[in-house]
Structure 1
Amino acid sequence: METASTSLTFSDATESDVDVLVALIESAYRGDASRAGWTTEADILEGQRTDPEGVLDVIKSPDSRFLKVERDGTVVACCQLEHRGDHAYFGMFAVSPALQGGGLGKVIIAEAERTARETWGVTEMHMTVISVREDLIAWYERRGYRRTGRTTPFPYGDERFGVPQRDDLCFELLVKPLA
Structure 2
Amino acid sequence: MKKFLTAACALGLLFSAAGCGNDSTATSAKTEKKAEDESKNLDLLKKDFNSITKEEWDKIYISKKDLNGAFEKMTEANSDGEKVVKKVEIKNNTVVVTFNNSDGKSMENGLLAIVFDQFLRTLYKHSSYYDSSEPTIRFVDLDNQLVQESDQPLDTDNETDDSSQK
TM-score normalised by the shorter chain: which range applies?
0.3 to 0.5
Structure (1 or 2) with the greater strand fraction:
1
Name which structure has the greater RCO, CA cutoff 8 Å, separation 6+: 1
User: Larger C-alpha radius of gyration, 1 or 2?
Assistant: 2
Instruction: Give the TM-score taking structure 1 as reference length.
Output: 0.33
TM-score by length of 2: 0.35
Which structure carries more helix by proportion?
2
